[in-house]
Structure 1
Amino acid sequence: SEGFEIYVGKNNRQNEYLTLKMASREDLWLHAKEIPGSHVVVKGEAVPPQTLKEAALLAAYYSKGSDSSNVPVDYTKIKHVRKPRQARTGMVIYDHHKTIYVTPEEKEMKKIARA
């Protein structure tokens, strides 16, 4: 991850804490597009392409799309992510996003875990 810290929420409560409490406004937030899954946060600004890809792989791997190829993962800065009033725990909406397509594979995930 080229020196950037990457965090992954493993349930709704962790997702909400990570996204709405722990992350800073300029940090990068990722989530599998329209698929239930983990929130992923990359701490810092100017995230390089390789770190973005690794974070997207984590978001795809820890989602319901983990067995698919070409999983769409949306990403945006935390300042564009918000929780709607009355929304359930871990539910957020976001805008100003871009989408990256990745295929989560076991060997890639092991490489990322070791880094």
Structure 2
Amino acid sequence: MGRNNKENDHLTFKIASSKDVWFHTKDIPGSHVILFTEGRDLTEASIFEAAAIAAFHSKGKESENVPVDYVQVKYVKKPAGAKPGMVIFTNNRTVYVNPALPKEK
């Protein structure tokens, strides 16, 4: 998870692989969250958990039913000349979650 715009860029474009999954709150400033898939299929539970973490680390953390977009990293692009943290993406899906940190296992 990126804690600022520069970390968001580094995480999304330097650490994550093209098949990992990127999460970000829809139209709400917040952290980029990456779900490292290691070639595995995603479970519904992992999608909702990663989305809840993205919602928690956003300006929507005090809200309920926060929209979070997610998409494979290969569909996330940085426009030429864009500021750190700014991205565009296609082929996304959206889930609605309550912000939360991961549960202890």
TM norm structure 1:
0.86
Percent sequence identity is 46
In structure 2, C-alpha distance between the alignment counterparts of 1:34 and 1:95, rounded to whole Å: 14
Amino acid corresponding to residue 66 of structure 2 in structure 1? V
Q: Does 1:80 align with 2:80?
A: no
Q: 2:18 corresponds to which letter in structure 1?
A: R
- Structure 1 runs (4+) deviating above 3 angstroms are none
Residue 63 of structure 2 is aligned to residue 68 of structure 1: yes
Between Structure 1 and Structure 2, how many residues are aligned?
A: 103
In the other structure, the counterpart of 2:48 is 53
Specify every segment of 5 or more residues in structure 2 that has no aligned partner in the other structure, as ranges.
none
Residue 18 (structure 1) aligns with: 11
Q: Distance in 1 between matches of 2:66 and 2:22?
A: 16
Which residue in the other structure is 1:3 paired with? Answer: none
**Are 2:89 and 1:94 equivalent residues in the alignment?**
yes
**How far apart are 1:114 and its partner, in Å?**
2.6
CA distance in 1, matches of 2:33, 2:12: 8
Q: TM-score, normalised by structure 2?
A: 0.94
Aligned to 2:53, what secondary structure does the other structure show? helix
